[in-house]
Amino acid sequence: MKKYLLLFALLLTVIAQAKDKMIDRPAFKSSSSDLVPVKVELTKKATIVHFFARCAHWRTWTMTGARLECNGQTYACQNSRILTHDGKTILTDEPLEFGKDYEQNAQQDSIILSFDPLPKQAKTFDYIEGDGYNSWKALGIRLDGELYPLVLPPYLEPTDDGQPLQPLVPSYGKITTKVTKHEVGELAYFGEPANDPITGEFKSESQFDDSLFTFCHPAYLPRKIAWVGPRIDPSAIASQFVLLNIPGETLTLEIDGNACTALQFGFGNGRVDRHDCYRLGGTLADLNQVALENQMLFYSQIEEVPELVDGDNFPTWCERLWQSIDTLRQGIMKRPGYTRRQRDYANLMADACYLGIRHDYERALRYKMRSSGLNMDSLLTRLKATFTLEDPHARDLQLFRDGRTYYATTSTGLLPYLRANGLDSGEVYEFLSAFDEAIALGQKMKNAEVQSDSAFAGIHPYFQPVLRAFNDSTRVLVERLKREAADRIMPTPDVAGDQLIQTIANQYPGKAVFFDLWATWCGPCKSGIAAMEPLKEQQRDKDVVFVYLTNESSPLNEWNDYVLKIPGQHYRIPSSLWEQIPNVSAIPQYYLYDRQGKQVWQQTGFDNSVLKAIESEIENILK
């Protein structure tokens, strides 16, 4: 009888266990956090979610709360634990405290959260830490162990017709990029500043239409742009697409966000290929395929940067750099599936990577040896002392021979290198030199210096139209400034930087003086200025003066344009004097002085609470 009872109890246990379910490395749509779900247990009594805290080994972190959302219902966290491991050995297992700061540690942090059981028919659920913008979230966690279906059609390799990459003829026009996103949570323009290199003006046009993001910008030459988005390569240095576009053409990019997420996190059931994540279109689609598959060539923070060793000087270190990048190049050349045109472009990318690291060697080495514990300032002294532009490999480069160069670099900063290595002739050098001259003349106009017609006589005809148009707009701006806002621009007091703000405050006795330290390139600064305009209108007839200080990092032409728009007293401070102003670590920086010239309030940064504080502090002074 005992035997039967034992068998019956065992059967009941098996049946009960059969109703439980475990999903290992479940697929999810997107994650806006460093908290990754790695296992889900479904039992009669609970839904248990295991997370891996990816950020634990590099920073302090905290959790403010936890809940699940499923079929319109919310499930609060009932129990929470945090475990640290050394390999498979559990070092600690303790209750997780919401709101507690957990210190950075070298061990893996695992978090186990228990919730009430989800409905039997549930197919997916969302994990939500909180409602704040920066709260951690993992959305669309699947309970069937399957991957989300792929959106894009199968990838087809380009056909190799044996034709080399042809030189590019420079042309001026809009570069246009259209990004179509499928199941992508966040996608925003990130890349290099899109300001016109000659005028300094930001002429980009962006448009969001449901899942389509269109970006346009005038350009003289091909331009590298980057898009923040899901990773297409888990080993990539940055989570962005680096792409090349040329004036007058349209680049298209389709992204399957679910495939990108699956590739990045390696979900348990099946694998996706990087080609499942995106599709490129346009005349440069094949070249951008190479760029996306070799993103490391756009950065100086790569493994191929050689460390410094005893006895290194700049030439010996550069020789090892050349050999290292050349080994990387040869590996790319051997990859199957690349056409002749794609291999030519990869060669140019490798050349540009070598030059970029060679010229930015200090940053590259500081990153490479960041964990060495060595004194980098001391180590770099010898390299700085032996730095030279002369390069025995300058003539080995594929760059600077013809218009193919423009696909890889259009930097006028390379002109001294070309001159030092006898490459100061030919169409590439002449065009980059003309571009450099146009940029220098544009800089004068950015400083509100109207040019005579003779100034354009020696400029390359390619750049003359934009320069003449910029000169005309500068002339109009200067004349309008004299006519409408001459009384807003004030001379900088001849005092030391640590006395500057107090001296300006003393120029307005009996008044409250509000200082706004800002710059034309500072987005939060400009947002704060715009938000304060209604407050300034309310205070217009009262004893309060609004004073705006910027430095020479704000182009004079652009600053003058803002002076016309922003009522108040404006000072453009020499950068050397600005650096002497105490305690200005960031902008926007605000100060408020009372009627007696005493500082009564200060603030770094802007948000709506700051606006309320400014209004309250001014009212207290004026009572």
Which residues have a Cβ under 8 Å from the Cβ of 390 and sit 6 or more positions away?
420, 421
User: What token pair was written down for 398?
Assistant: 């594929």
Alpha-carbon distance 184 to 305, whole Å?
A: 34
What is the location of CATH 2.60.40 in the chain? 22-142
Instruction: Give Cα 119 distance to the centre of its chain.
Output: 41
The pLDDT of residue 23 is 94
* Adjacent-strand bridge partners of 546: 514
Does domain 486-622 bear CATH number 3.40.30.10?
yes
The pLDDT of residue 311 is 84
Residue reference for tokens 């217009």: 540
Low-confidence residues in the chain, pLDDT < 50? 1-18, 190
Buried b (16+ CB within 10 A) or exposed e, 32-57: ebebbbbbbbbeeebbbbbbbbbebe
CATH no. of 22-142: 2.60.40
- Measured at the CA of 590, the angle between CA 584 and CA 595, to 5 degrees, comes to 120
- Measured at the CA of 551, the angle between CA 546 and CA 556, to 5 degrees, comes to 95
Alpha-carbon distance 458 to 23, whole Å?
A: 71
Q: Which of 390, 372, 381, 616 is nearest to 514 (CA)?
A: 616
- Measured at the CA of 297, the angle between CA 196 and CA 425, to 5 degrees, comes to 60
User: What token pair was written down for 526?
Assistant: 């400009």
What is the location of CATH 3.40.30.10 in the chain? 486-622
DSSP assignment string, 441-487 = HHHHHHTT-PPPGGGGTTS-TTTHHHHHHHHHHHHHHHHHHHHHSGG
DSSP assignment string, 235-285 = T-SSSEEEEEE-TT-EEEEEEEHHHHHHHHHT-SS----GGGTEEEESTTH
The pLDDT of residue 239 is 66
Contact 63, 129 (CB under 8 A): yes
Helix axes 314-333, 376-385, angle to 10 degrees: 90
Alpha-carbon distance 426 to 434, whole Å?
A: 12
The pLDDT of residue 13 is 44
Which residues have a Cβ under 8 Å from the Cβ of 22 and sit 6 or more positions away?
39, 40, 41, 42
Contact 475, 554 (CB under 8 A): no
Alpha-carbon distance 217 to 212, whole Å?
A: 17
